[in-house]
Structure 1
Amino acid sequence: MPEPLRIGVIEGDGIGHEIVPATRRVVDAAIAATGGPELEWVPLPLGADAIGSHGTPVPRSTLEALTDLDGWILGPHDSASYPEPFRAALTPGGQIRKHFDLYANIRPARALPGTHAMVPDMDLVVVRENTEGFYADRNMAVGSGEFMPTPDVALAVGVITRAACERIAHTAFDLASRRRKRVTIVHKANVLSKTTGLFRDVCREIGTMYPSVDVDDEHVDAMAALLVRRGGDFDVIVTENLFGDILSDLAGELSGSLGSAPSINASARKTMAQAVHGAAPDIAGLGRANPTALVLSSAMLLDRLSVTGNPFLGGAARALERAVAETIGDGIATADLGGSASTSEFTAAVVDRITAA
């Protein structure tokens, strides 16, 4: 009998209060239908509600509780609406990423049946280095990578290290070895020769350890054009932080909608499921939110946990993915995908397909 699974569940802000409970319902159904382990959900406070109850959007007790869990699901946060000083601080998701050194942001982009995808044959994964690069909130142990020596001059420090390049490259090549065995390294070494040149070269070195995987590389501007022109040709794309953020959003939109774009943030030991989209406060509470991205993110979480020690979860992950694809393919979708289903109606339809399988 498999060990019980303990998953943290954080609703966050805005539509998080709708899509997180919907995701829990779908995951429960998938694990029950596939004979997975006993599942314990551990609710934890974060975001605007936590400011009211704990005086901070990221309580220390939440971080401590996450340490003992197998993984967790993070709802979206709306930090732009927080009062100061929290609004200007690192976002709740960013604080969790830093605290647990979740260095790999893995973002699939796959066109689902029934969606009006601009690149209908797209099925790729962007593997984004999550701790360095040119994002000022992630590349310093203390302080920010952005600073202003005068009111009229702003500077930014980009950080690329061999150690970070090596571990994200291993993540990408390992993933590609279980997919279509191709990695594309994205950089801008013709201009940023020291920083992204180091990234490119270290990724190529790691690639020699995976002889079954083909390797090529592209400049980031050319890669953006290629995703539009022939995005179905790519398998795994590995790149630094800023480029990965931009390209994964582009790929998500080309494959259908950011409302269906999943992701995980992971280290060797911890995994956080987190949809690519934000908290959408303008539709919060209206029953219009699309839970697809977070449901598919949860499938990624289960899949990763199956690889790292709980093989019973692989079947549940596949059941989730199949049920979502079948539901949307049958024309049941929320408004952002051109349908008329409410959040609860879409969730019920996905659960019905899981239990009927």
Structure 2
Amino acid sequence: MTIYRLGVLKGDGIGPEIVNATVDVFKTASRKANIDIEWLTLPMGWEAIKQYDNPLPEVTTEGLKNTHGWILGPHDSASYPPDHKKNLNPSGVLRHTLDLFANIRPAKTLPGIQSMVGEADLVIYRENTEGFYADRNMFVGHGEWQITEDVVITAGVFTRQAIERIAHAAFQMAMKRRKKVTVVHKANVLRLSNGLFLNICRDIAQQYPEVTIDDYHIDAMAAHLARRAKDFDVIVTENMYGDILSDLAGELVGSLGLAPSINANDTIAMAQAAHGSAPDIAGKNIGNPTGIMLSTVMLMEWLAEKHNDPKLKEMGTYVEQSLAQSLKEGIKTKDLGGHATTSEFAEAISEKIMRIESR
């Protein structure tokens, strides 16, 4: 039997509470699915600054090389000391240095959660290494220059290689879903950069004749999501647009606090909820772990496919179904109008996992 090693980076704010709750739930699910997982806790964020004077020390990056994937808790980089605040945050470092080119962010209505757009089930594929996020598109430097006190120039980078691989990833996912891809761009104004993105996506579409493709300008797409999110299946777009649209979609279907994601390349993946560290409620045991739990479900599905091990997917399904049942029964954290603490919510999910009939 394969022993899977998964890294655990708890992070800042509510990170330790929601990540601990997630690991507890998945330990229950792993026992239920009869799969062996070794959890490797590594320092990140304020904990790492205090120990190593580095929010993402070498001991952590080296440790991650010996894992199959990892969970990344939220970080509060805005509060880091000035010497660390000016550098890339831990998430940005990992995405950049490990070339985690696909940020995959689903937005799906959940039972017991009020949605502003009715039933919806879509997934956004955000190119994660280039575009208009200057900290991710330079080999050296950050891609922003202050020419004078009153003038700043920012570079956006778009390459065929990066666009092709995110497009393939999006179309491959569409083949497993409802076979529809929507490309989001602003090629009517940014004719070269966004035009390249749109044209390459159209070229890649020819390799997937079963998939229907359409496209929208980013401003129109925000309006369409708010009005008819249920009509969309897989959305593919550049870095900044994907960041904005995925936050919007997460809030529309219930709450950004519920929104999961993974960051992946062809060989490695990390689970990371879309929300922040919520330092104002840290230590109160009231943070909502749903986002990081569902992110870890996504990680298990990714690992199951990569390692051809259905037991990993089975484990994720146990968690996903039990979490959905808990929400349906009204077992919710305070942010969702419930009364359960973080740990009580996790305990309810674990109890439901144990009651599932073994397959």
Q: TM-score, normalised by structure 1?
A: 0.98
For residues 252-271 of structure 1, what are the structure 2 equivalents within 5 Å? 252-271=250-269
C-alpha distance in 2 between matches for 1:214 and 1:317: 29
C-alpha distance in 1 between matches for 2:322 and 2:105: 20
Alignment match, 1:219: 217
1:316 Cα deviation (Å)? 1.0
Alignment match, 1:235: 233
Alignment match, 2:123: 125
For residues 103-122 of structure 1, what are the structure 2 equivalents within 5 Å? 103-122=101-120
C-alpha distance in 2 between matches for 1:335 and 1:203: 42
C-alpha distance in 2 between matches for 1:292 and 1:135: 28
Alignment match, 2:79: 81
C-alpha distance in 2 between matches for 1:23 and 1:173: 30
C-alpha distance in 2 between matches for 1:323 and 1:197: 44
RMSD after superposition: 0.8
Alignment match, 1:150: 148
* Residue segments in structure 2 that go unaligned for 5+ positions in a row: none
Within the candidate set 45, 48, 68, 1:47 is matched to: 45
C-alpha distance in 1 between matches for 2:314 and 2:203: 34
Between 52-61 and 297-306, the greater mean CA deviation after superposition: 52-61
C-alpha distance in 2 between matches for 1:349 and 1:193: 52
Greater than 3 Å deviation, 4+ residue runs: none
Deviations 1:162-220 (A, max 9, x none): 00000000110111111111110000000011001111111111111112211111111
Amino acid at match of 2:27: D
C-alpha distance in 2 between matches for 1:172 and 1:270: 17
C-alpha distance in 2 between matches for 1:213 and 1:333: 38
C-alpha distance in 1 between matches for 2:16 and 2:311: 29
Contact 1:257 1:336 in 2 (8 A): no
C-alpha distance in 2 between matches for 1:109 and 1:7: 25
Secondary structure at the residue paired with 1:265? strand
Contact 1:273 1:301 in 2 (8 A): yes
C-alpha distance in 1 between matches for 2:27 and 2:124: 28
Contact 1:305 1:311 in 2 (8 A): no
Secondary structure at the residue paired with 1:324? helix
Deviations 1:28-60 (A, max 9, x none): 11122123x211000101111111111111101
| 2:273 is aligned with 1:275 | yes
Amino acid at match of 2:97: H
C-alpha distance in 1 between matches for 2:231 and 2:324: 21
Alignment match, 1:333: 332
C-alpha distance in 1 between matches for 2:328 and 2:233: 23
Amino acid at match of 1:30: A
1:89 Cα deviation (Å)? 1.0
For residues 56-95 of structure 1, what are the structure 2 equivalents within 5 Å? 56-95=54-93
Alignment match, 2:313: 314
Alignment match, 1:138: 136
Amino acid at match of 1:259: G
For residues 151-166 of structure 1, what are the structure 2 equivalents within 5 Å? 151-166=149-164
Alignment match, 1:20: 19
Secondary structure at the residue paired with 1:109? strand
1:311 Cα deviation (Å)? 2.7
Amino acid at match of 1:181: K
**Percent of residue pairs bearing the same amino acid type:** 55
Amino acid at match of 2:76: D
Amino acid at match of 1:14: G
Amino acid at match of 2:218: V
C-alpha distance in 1 between matches for 2:250 and 2:178: 19
C-alpha distance in 2 between matches for 1:227 and 1:325: 24
Amino acid at match of 1:145: G
1:84 Cα deviation (Å)? 1.5
* Residue segments in structure 1 that go unaligned for 5+ positions in a row: none
Contact 1:136 1:156 in 2 (8 A): yes
Amino acid at match of 1:81: S
Between 311-320 and 189-198, the greater mean CA deviation after superposition: 311-320
1:222 Cα deviation (Å)? 0.7
Within the candidate set 202, 205, 225, 2:203 is matched to: 205
Deviations 1:249-274 (A, max 9, x none): 00000010011100000010010000
Secondary structure at the residue paired with 2:294? helix
C-alpha distance in 2 between matches for 1:214 and 1:355: 41
Alignment match, 2:6: 7
Secondary structure at the residue paired with 2:82? coil
